[in-house]
A and B are shown apart, each in its own frame.
Chain A
């Protein structure tokens, strides 16, 4: 059987890739995708735990996370659309009206 540690490692790597993507990309859409990446890494580890711990809680949690991720994407994109209507900007360094 595949050791649990492998799943943990995989999940950690994808999570950090998501973090890095979030930090370095200028495009808000890609940042949103990076967040989805992070959430998916969490899902992977939760499903793996669920399997190895013989407990369903992890999978139930994943179900909720997917739900929330969908809601989050909908709202995030709605905000982006609202922003886009006022100012055709999808890059974070173009929306620095407020600072200091």
Chain B
């Protein structure tokens, strides 16, 4: 069998086995199947990466499902440099999260179901990144969304969890709607669904416009923005970011895998994959860059004041995703994907560390009730610290290289680039600050929780700490493939990506690069320092500041009131229309009015029609005779004329 096919197939097989036999035969052994499958995928992914490193790219159709003219629905794989890296990210993080879950989900009554869903998610994500055509991308896109919905609402008895699942699903609908239209438009204008065909033909669209409501809109810009809509939804960018923090209601391994390392980065992957389209439209690029920069800054400021450990990390994810889009928007797709890759490790590590803390604290999430955890759970502490240093951008760690690459390339990208560079640097300082706020509040100082909790504090089991350690190694070293020339490296990853993603040509001198680098290092260290003063040295300062700048504080605390805003401008009017206008129209039957109105009308008709079926034999015979009579009359009249 084809080895590339095995990569997604193994998790699918694991899913099938677990979902069918999980409840009866397998039960608590469900993780073995899932872990072995994803381990196999990982091994093949590594060997594939080696092949790609040796200059091989794979692009073929595995299977043609439906072929009808130019409408070809196929399953095919395109494995180039971009996909190879994504495969490593997805399979390695997934593998570690699987192992971690053995400890974390131990004793849960849906144990087998959880592993089945994880496998299904891994399969969908692999299909998404490996696809060589748009429909497969779309399939993977929807499938990961569905898995995310299942996993967020995994503890469906908990109302907040099932609500969060629904919210994620509905918010993503908005983005996917645009994405779907984008896919259809590509097929209609280019008549192709395979990437290679699309990219070969996309040049012909240049300069074409489409008339919408009297405005002439550049076709490529429109397509690019429609695709970006999908990315905004999936990668939780403004204004569709609201679902991601709520998604933390799901089990923590899910947050680490889906809502930090893999699924949410699908938007970045998609923009990078479609770089030949995006690069043709400057408007679209600017929109991407600004959306990314604004989201990044916006989410970072919210993260400053939150107290829920998972929420802080979630906003940090939104912020870092903004970074990646920022990179794509300035044409530095390679840097964006590089950041995606390093981010996967340190962010997964942060989530899993948070999960480990939660495990010890019996589900407590509020960092104000923690403190001094360092001595109780050293492994968690040290790995969490490494991740924080990495995300803060301390030189030598993974986060530093990727973040620096983005900032440097942004700096060199004209006016827009300078603006987003400034914002990015500010975000770097804020990131360092809020990351270390967790470190100082949760791990240092005195324990502030209940006695019972203190008594219960312990380091997590091996199944959980070993993935932490492995991820910590990743958080340190993942960036070493991208040491820039200015620091004596070769920036191997940028050259690796160049055939697929291109590389912006930068002529500026190394001195200038050192300057940019120093500024971000200063920002990072400054952030950490301020955090140390605020939360370790003089803990009263934050309270005074919060009291002094009450307006800003509450705004940030309430996440800029975005949820409330949506509640005000979307949910409330909808409800108002529903309860006032529709009730008036439909006599208090809102749901019947909208959803069941037409079916109800048909049903009523059916009920009447049903009366004709009297059960009386003669009536059936009469109906046959009438049918015969009518047909005879019509045909004979038509022929007799």
Q: Do chains A and B touch in the complex (CB under 8 A)?
A: yes
Asked whether any CB of chain B lies closer than 8 Å to the CB of A24, the reply is yes
A19 to B628, CA, bound (A): 12
Interface 1/0s, chain A 22-38, versus B by CB < 8 A? 11101000010000000
Q: Which residues of A contact B618 (CB under 8 A)?
A: 23-24, 26, 92-93
Interface 1/0s, chain B 605-638, versus A by CB < 8 A? 0000011011111100110010000000000000
Q: Residues on B close to A: CB < 8 A?
A: 610-611, 613-618, 621-622, 625
**B615 in contact with A97 (CB, 8 Å):** yes
For the complex formed, measure the closest distance between the CB of A16 and the CB atoms of chain B, giving whole angstroms: 10
Q: Which residues of B contact A24 (CB under 8 A)?
A: 618
Asked whether any CB of chain B lies closer than 8 Å to the CB of A96, the reply is yes
Asked whether any CB of chain B lies closer than 8 Å to the CB of A87, the reply is no
For the complex formed, measure the closest distance between the CB of B603 and the CB atoms of chain A, giving whole angstroms: 13
For the complex formed, measure the closest distance between the CB of B609 and the CB atoms of chain A, giving whole angstroms: 10
- Extra contacts, 12 of them, besides A19-B625, A31-B617 (Cβ < 8 A), are A23-B618, A23-B625, A26-B618, A93-B616, A93-B618, A95-B615, A95-B617, A96-B614, A99-B615, A99-B616, A100-B613, A100-B615
**B615 in contact with A96 (CB, 8 Å):** yes
A97 to B616, CA, bound (A): 9
Q: Which residues of B contact A2 (CB under 8 A)?
A: none
A98 to B616, CA, bound (A): 9
A19 to B622, CA, bound (A): 10
Q: Which of A19, A92, A100 is B617 in contact with, Cβ under 8 Å?
A: A92
Which has the most chain B C-beta neighbours within 10 Å: A24, A93, A97? A93
Q: Which residues of B contact A23 (CB under 8 A)?
A: 618, 621-622, 625
Which has the most chain A C-beta neighbours within 10 Å: B611, B613, B615, B622? B615
For the complex formed, measure the closest distance between the CB of A91 and the CB atoms of chain B, giving whole angstroms: 10
Q: Which of A22, A95, A97, A98 is B621 in contact with, Cβ under 8 Å?
A: A22
**B617 in contact with A99 (CB, 8 Å):** no
A93 to B625, CA, bound (A): 18
Q: Which residues of B contact A26 (CB under 8 A)?
A: 618
For the complex formed, measure the closest distance between the CB of B597 and the CB atoms of chain A, giving whole angstroms: 24
Closest residue to A20 on the B side, CB-wise?
A: B625
For the complex formed, measure the closest distance between the CB of B205 and the CB atoms of chain A, giving whole angstroms: 57
**B610 in contact with A96 (CB, 8 Å):** no
A99 to B613, CA, bound (A): 6
Interface of B is mostly: helix
Total interface residues on A, using CB and 8 Å? 14
A96 to B616, CA, bound (A): 6
Q: Which residues of A contact B622 (CB under 8 A)?
A: 23
**B621 in contact with A99 (CB, 8 Å):** no
Q: Which residues of A contact B625 (CB under 8 A)?
A: 19, 23
A23 to B622, CA, bound (A): 6
A23 to B614, CA, bound (A): 15
Q: Which residues of A contact B616 (CB under 8 A)?
A: 92-93, 96, 99
Q: Which residues of B contact A97 (CB under 8 A)?
A: 615
Q: Which residues of A contact B611 (CB under 8 A)?
A: 100
For the complex formed, measure the closest distance between the CB of B171 and the CB atoms of chain A, giving whole angstroms: 44
A98 to B622, CA, bound (A): 18
For the complex formed, measure the closest distance between the CB of B608 and the CB atoms of chain A, giving whole angstroms: 11
Closest residue to B615 on the A side, CB-wise?
A: A99
| 13 A–B contacts from the bound complex (CB under 8 Å) | A23-B618, A23-B625, A24-B618, A26-B618, A31-B617, A92-B618, A93-B618, A95-B615, A96-B615, A98-B615, A99-B616, A100-B610, A100-B613
For the complex formed, measure the closest distance between the CB of B47 and the CB atoms of chain A, giving whole angstroms: 64
What 4 pairs between A and B have smallest CB-CB spacing? A99-B615, A96-B615, A92-B617, A100-B610
For the complex formed, measure the closest distance between the CB of A4 and the CB atoms of chain B, giving whole angstroms: 21
For the complex formed, measure the closest distance between the CB of A34 and the CB atoms of chain B, giving whole angstroms: 10
Q: Which residues of B contact A95 (CB under 8 A)?
A: 615, 617
Q: Which residues of B contact A92 (CB under 8 A)?
A: 616-618
Closest residue to A94 on the B side, CB-wise?
A: B616
Within 8 A of B (CB), among A41-100: 92-93, 95-100
Closest residue to A26 on the B side, CB-wise?
A: B618
A76 to B305, CA, bound (A): 85
A97 to B614, CA, bound (A): 10
A24 to B611, CA, bound (A): 20
Q: Which residues of A contact B617 (CB under 8 A)?
A: 31, 92, 95
A31 to B611, CA, bound (A): 24
A24 to B625, CA, bound (A): 12
For the complex formed, measure the closest distance between the CB of A38 and the CB atoms of chain B, giving whole angstroms: 12
Closest residue to A92 on the B side, CB-wise?
A: B617
Which has the most chain A C-beta neighbours within 10 Å: B613, B614, B617, B625? B617
For the complex formed, measure the closest distance between the CB of B209 and the CB atoms of chain A, giving whole angstroms: 58
Q: Which of A19, A22, A31, A99 is B614 in contact with, Cβ under 8 Å?
A: A99
A31 to B617, CA, bound (A): 10
For the complex formed, measure the closest distance between the CB of A23 and the CB atoms of chain B, giving whole angstroms: 5
A96 to B615, CA, bound (A): 5
A24 to B621, CA, bound (A): 9
Q: Which residues of A contact B610 (CB under 8 A)?
A: 100
A98 to B614, CA, bound (A): 8
Closest residue to B609 on the A side, CB-wise?
A: A100
A26 to B625, CA, bound (A): 17
A23 to B501, CA, bound (A): 78
A93 to B621, CA, bound (A): 13
For the complex formed, measure the closest distance between the CB of B625 and the CB atoms of chain A, giving whole angstroms: 6
For the complex formed, measure the closest distance between the CB of A69 and the CB atoms of chain B, giving whole angstroms: 19
A100 to B613, CA, bound (A): 5
For the complex formed, measure the closest distance between the CB of A41 and the CB atoms of chain B, giving whole angstroms: 16
Q: Which residues of A contact B621 (CB under 8 A)?
A: 22-23
For the complex formed, measure the closest distance between the CB of B613 and the CB atoms of chain A, giving whole angstroms: 6
A93 to B616, CA, bound (A): 5
Q: Which residues of B contact A96 (CB under 8 A)?
A: 614-616
Q: Which residues of B contact A22 (CB under 8 A)?
A: 621
